[in-house]
């Protein structure tokens, strides 16, 4: 029989990982990874905590979630500072993100006492439905918007009476860990909301495969989402998927071209393009194509790239050297561009805002999600051609339509196969409106009025009132 390995023998997976400030390349923390055995223990504790939580009066659960929201409100600056350091987000955006968590907790708290069922007219008795909590929910979050995306799954799941085990991305666990401390300080029961840092293929898969986890909420790449979906099939596990995008920004000749051009860079450079909703395909009606490009150039050059702590900064770094390599593999910085911005010298994972014309862009850049500050511009001939090009992708997350013709705007947003459309705006995310993708961009919806229902099972009960 082979000897047991010593307990301190090297394992195939690291027991801890460094968190690096992407603007300075400095290690700012080292975080211990959660082992599969610890995941198992966490699920057991969460299962017990969930039973106690679901048994509380709805008003009491709502009150505790509001206290959690108040605690987050008091920590907005602190949380924003963490996002700035671990994710490289400029301060204004990081503050919005922390505020989004607060708003979502408040909104979810308001849903606890409104999670009603139906009373359905039937013969011979009374028929009612109940929205039962699922049990333990695993939320697996990416690094691009660590705080909001952690809360999109966690807040409604808790509000609907579930326990939550949150696995943040390895690159950005610090804001999630602080969120768990705030929850405890606000009075949420111990073990109800646990944060389990660690690598996706180890900690994440242990969560996905655990029979005690009733639902997985995954936000991340389509490739990993497909893998998780297949693993969930084994346990017929409930699943929400928020995946990638390659979204169109459609500009018609009758639009306010100055505004459309001025706002286009923000729609693909916000968060350095590491945004699932980035409008990275700019489709412009051929008759105004040249004029639009002329207006776009100064707008792109005006995007200030630099130190996220500087209030003048509009765009920070990419998350890591490895991710910058991926962006460069799609678009080497030598690729001929319509316009290319500038970046700081010295440390930091910088990549300039870049606009390519479709006919001159590498094929991968035109078709695949780059997740960097790169847009590909192409002309279209008419409305039908615009819709055809907009839908010529496996993705379907978001998109924008710029026109002064309201009827056309409505025809086009109905024809584009995507979950989140905006007209004369690039807005995609509000805590009170539903969010999610068509096609390979996802499965299910988060946020909005139905957010809590996605964390319940509907139970139908018939009570006979007739004696025969
Ligand atoms: P990712 O590599 O798919 O990782 C996302 C999360 O899944 C991370 O926590 C990761 O952990 C974990 N993970 C990786 N492999 C796993 C596995 N085998 N089992 C379980 N968990 C696993 O994605 P990313 O690069 O962090 O994020 C970028 C992607 O997310 C883009 O495609 C973007 O479009 C998408 N996204 C979508 C939305 C939306 O709402 N639709 C929002 C934001 C981002 P590690 O960090 O340890 O790898």
Q: Is 146 in the pocket of ligand 1 (CB under 6 A)?
A: no
Q: Is 167 in the pocket of ligand 1 (CB under 6 A)?
A: yes
Q: Is 199 in the pocket of ligand 1 (CB under 6 A)?
A: yes
From the options 1.20.272.10, 3.40.309.10, 3.30.428.10, 3.40.50.1100, give the CATH code of 248-430: 3.40.309.10
- Distance from residue 285's CA to the centre of ligand 1 (Å): 35
* 148, 175, 200, 370, best to mutate for ligand 1 pocket (most atoms within 8 Å of CB): 200
Q: pLDDT tens-digit profile of 121-135? A: 999 999 999 999 999
* Domain 16-243+441-460 identical in fold to domain 248-430: no
Q: pLDDT tens-digit profile of 381-421? A: 999 999 999 999 999 999 999 999 999 999 999 999 999 99
- Distance from residue 244's CA to the centre of ligand 1 (Å): 9
Please tell me the predicted confidence (pLDDT) of residue 12.
Answer: 58
Domains of the chain by residue range: 16-243+441-460, 248-430
Q: pLDDT tens-digit profile of 413-468? A: 999 999 999 999 998 899 999 999 999 999 999 999 999 999 999 999 999 999 86
* 151, 196, 221, 244, best to mutate for ligand 1 pocket (most atoms within 8 Å of CB): 221
Catalytic residue among 232, 269, 276, 277: 276
CATH 3.40.605.10 correct for 16-243+441-460: yes
Q: pLDDT tens-digit profile of 187-205? A: 999 999 999 999 999 999 9
- Distance from residue 221's CA to the centre of ligand 1 (Å): 5
Q: Is 220 in the pocket of ligand 1 (CB under 6 A)?
A: yes
- pTM of the complete model: 0.96
Tokens representing 341 are 């911005």
Q: How many CA atoms lie within 13 A of 202 on its CB side?
A: 20
**b/e burial code for range 237-253 (CB count within 10 A of at least 16 → b):** bbbbbbbbbbbbbbbbb
Instruction: State the closest ligand 1 atom to the C-alpha of 152, by its place in the atom list counted from 1.
Output: 40
Is 249 annotated as catalytic? no
Residue reference for tokens 């450079």: 269
Query: H/E element holding 120?
Result: strand 119-122
Q: Which 8-state DSSP code applies to residue 271? A: G
**b/e burial code for range 9-39 (CB count within 10 A of at least 16 → b):** eeeeeeeebebbbbbbeeeebebebbbbeeb
Catalytic residue among 205, 242, 285, 369: 242
Q: Which 8-state DSSP code applies to residue 22? A: T
Q: Are 158 and 38 in contact (CB under 8 A)?
A: no
Tokens representing 2 are 């082979």
* pLDDT averages per 10-residue partition of the chain, 468 residues: 37 82 98 98 98 98 98 98 98 97 98 97 97 98 98 98 98 98 98 98 98 98 97 97 98 98 98 98 98 98 97 97 98 94 97 96 94 98 98 98 98 98 94 98 97 98 91
d(CA 281, CA 278): 9
């Amino acid at each position: 029989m082979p000897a047991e390995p010593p307990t301190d023998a090297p394992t195939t997976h690291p027991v801890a990982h460094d968190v690096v400030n992407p603007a300075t390349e400095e290690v700012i923390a080292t975080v211990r990874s959660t082992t599969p055995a610890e995941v198992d223990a966490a699920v057991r504790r969460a299962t017990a905590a969930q039973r106690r939580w679901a048994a509380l009066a709805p008003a009491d659960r709502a009150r505790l979630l509001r206290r959690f929201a108040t605690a987050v409100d008091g920590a907005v600056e602190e949380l924003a500072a963490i996002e700035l350091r671990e994710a490289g987000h400029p301060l204004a955006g990081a503050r919005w993100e922390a505020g989004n968590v607060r708003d979502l907790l408040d909104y979810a708290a308001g849903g606890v006492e409104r999670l009603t069922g139906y009373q359905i007219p039937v013969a011979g008795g009374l028929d009612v439905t109940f929205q039962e909590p699922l049990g333990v929910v695993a939320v697996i979050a990416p690094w691009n918007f660590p705080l909001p995306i952690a809360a999109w799954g966690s807040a409604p799941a808790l509000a609907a009476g579930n326990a939550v085990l949150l696995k943040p991305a390895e690159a950005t666990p610090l804001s999630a860990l602080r969120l768990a401390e705030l929850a405890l300080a606000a009075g949420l029961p111990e073990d109800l909301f646990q944060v389990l840092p660690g690598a996706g293929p180890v900690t994440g898969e242990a969560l996905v495969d655990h029979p005690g986890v009733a639902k997985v909420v995954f936000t991340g790449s389509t490739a990993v989402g497909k893998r998780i979906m297949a693993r969930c099939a084994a346990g017929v596990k409930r699943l929400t998927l928020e995946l990638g995008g390659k979204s169109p920004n459609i500009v018609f000749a009758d639009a306010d071209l100055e505004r459309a051009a001025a706002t286009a860079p923000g729609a693909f450079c916000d968060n350095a393009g590491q945004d699932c909703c980035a409008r990275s395909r700019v489709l412009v009606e051929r008759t105004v194509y040249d004029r639009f490009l002329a207006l776009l150039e100064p707008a792109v050059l005006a995007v200030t790239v630099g130190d996220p702590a500087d209030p003048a900064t509009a765009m920070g770094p990419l998350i890591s050297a490895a991710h910058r390599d991926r962006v460069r593999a799609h678009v080497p910085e030598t690729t001929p561009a319509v316009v290319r911005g500038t970046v700081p010298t010295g440390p930091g994972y910088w990549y300039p805002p870049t606009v390519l014309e479709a006919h001159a862009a590498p094929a991968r850049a035109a078709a695949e999600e780059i997740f960097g500050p790169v847009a590909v511009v192409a002309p279209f001939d008419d409305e039908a051609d615009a819709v055809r090009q907009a839908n010529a992708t496996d993705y379907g997350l978001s998109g924008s339509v710029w026109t002064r013709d309201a009827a056309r705007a409505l025809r086009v947003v109905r024809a584009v196969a995507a979950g989140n459309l905006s007209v004369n705006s690039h807005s995609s995310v509000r805590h009170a409106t539903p969010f999610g993708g068509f096609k390979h961009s996802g499965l299910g919806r988060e946020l909005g009025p139905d957010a809590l229902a996605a964390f319940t099972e509907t139970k139908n009960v018939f009570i006979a009132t007739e004696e025969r």
